[in-house]
Structure 1
Amino acid sequence: MKKIFIAILMLPALAFSQVGGITTGSGTSYNTIFNPNTEIDKSEEFKELAPKMYITTSYLAANVDDIVETFFLRYNMYRDEMEFSKNDQLLYLKKINDRTIVFQNLNTKYKLFELNNDLKYFIVHNEGKNQLLSRQTVTYQEEKPPVNSYVAGKKADFIRNDDIFYIKFDNNSIIEVPSNKRKFYAIFDGKESEIKNYMKSNRLNNKDLEDLKKIVTYFNSL
């Protein structure tokens, strides 16, 4: 299984032809929106493992930026890519800073922001000048053979990680939410005491999604 998976990651992007000439219903060329992806391994072993790379294995209706047409996408957490299938080609949505993807039925908004000099997909949890974001990720766990007859081995697998929360401040800096409360107060430069008092009076936890939404919304009101 390990060899199969590595082969998938190392395949050159030659298996698919270019997507030029295909147009959306609104007349937009697909090659301005998507990049061709490498060929997907269709072995039974990979089929069993692959679904764990995705939030949902189905392609769901989504809006991209201000493009009129609805696209059917799915988010690949492992590769951090939005996937699209067209004419038996698997395509990746091109990454552009501030690009917005809204999944209609999930009522979930993703945006592309730069983190550590690389564009990453974040879920946006609130509107306003300062935004609460989160990242969804999985880690690939390689196959582990049995140590001996008493210790069983482990199959290769994708392990879902806890979501990581960030705050995007109005100066465009993106800071990971600290778990330590003292460090958490400190990221609200100049408003530490207000945030501390608000959290204490409302019994809010900086590790809880709903509480973090309230904190960032309050911060936006200051």
Structure 2
Amino acid sequence: MRKIVVTIFLFSQTFILAQVGNENVSFSTGNFFTRANRPSTKEHIIDGIPYPNGKQFDKVAIDGYGKNVQNLRYNAYDDEMEFQEKEQTYYTNKEEGIKILFPSLKKTYVSSNYVVEGKSKFGYLVLLIENSKYSLYKREKIELLKGEKSPSAFGKDANDYYAKEKDLYLIKKDSIFIKFPKNSKDFIEQFDLNKSEFESFAKSSKVNFSKEESLIKLVDYLNQVK
């Protein structure tokens, strides 16, 4: 009898956790939608926004959750997903490996542990290619820059402002993330490719290492030849 009572209690606690933040959230064993910290309110005026997709909250689809989950938006300055409840904005709780599809944006974000330039990160990456061999991800980042002081006592100081950093592209092999090579020479060396075959492909495909569509083509090529 005691075992039955304990089981019912644990089940009810898990169910409550899954429901916090929105009564329409379907049951899930995760606590993604429990209310984490509220984003801090800046005490001074900042120009721009920290949201690469706009400041609106968009519909999402998440495996393991129902259709009526909260709308979300990605804060690229804080590297957090946000949702709104009763006019208050909260961060979600990050869960390793969770995939968040934004149908209207045609983008999927995945929370991942990864290492870039020797630094460990746990945050959101945009999934561009998912493959058992090589996958491609993009990290979006927005930084906060200081506004400049007016050189004149009669002028107005510029406000601090959000500025978009250059997107960082990462290739994943097994559990290892590799910073995307900067040119054809580095790409060939990194993945030990046949030089003449790759150069022929790059020429016919008009590969440009500064364009996302070309990076997608390159990883598709990599998955075919390796």
- Scaled by the length of structure 2, the TM-score of the pair is 0.75
Distance 1:29 1:217 in 2: 34
Gaps of 5+ in 2: 1-15
| Aligned counterpart, 1:6 | none
| Aligned counterpart, 1:52 | 49
| Aligned counterpart, 2:11 | none
Instruction: Report how many residues are paired.
Output: 199
- Note the 1:105-144 alignment, pairs <5 A: 105-116=104-115, 117-129=120-132, 130-144=134-148
Distance 2:23 2:222 in 1: 41
Which among 202, 207, 210 is matched to residue 205 of structure 2? 202
| Aligned counterpart, 1:38 | 38
Asked whether the 8 Å contact 1:83–1:92 carries over to 2, the reply is: yes
Percent identity between matched residues is 23
One-letter amino acid of the structure 1 residue matched with residue 150 of structure 2: P
Question: Helix, strand or coil: the match of 2:129?
Answer: coil
Question: Helix, strand or coil: the match of 2:216?
Answer: helix
| Aligned counterpart, 2:99 | 100
Asked whether the 8 Å contact 1:111–1:124 carries over to 2, the reply is: yes
Question: Helix, strand or coil: the match of 2:59?
Answer: strand
Distance 2:159 2:167 in 1: 24
One-letter amino acid of the structure 1 residue matched with residue 50 of structure 2: M
Find the structure with the greater CA-based Rg: 2
Q: Deviations over 1:31-85 (max 9, x none)?
A: 8113422364387x54x63x51012101000112331233300000100101011
| Aligned counterpart, 1:82 | 81
Asked whether the 8 Å contact 1:64–1:71 carries over to 2, the reply is: no
Over 3 Å counting, the alpha-carbon distance change for 1:39 and 1:205 in structure 2 is closer
- Scaled by the length of structure 1, the TM-score of the pair is 0.76
Which among 209, 213, 216 is matched to residue 213 of structure 1? 216
Distance 2:62 2:96 in 1: 13
- Note the 1:128-207 alignment, pairs <5 A: 128-129=131-132, 130-148=134-152, 153-169=157-173, 171-188=174-191, 190-193=192-195, 194-207=197-210
Gaps of 5+ in 1: 1-18
Q: What is the CA distance between 1:154 and its match in structure 2?
A: 3.0
Asked whether the 8 Å contact 1:195–1:219 carries over to 2, the reply is: no
Question: Helix, strand or coil: the match of 1:143?
Answer: coil
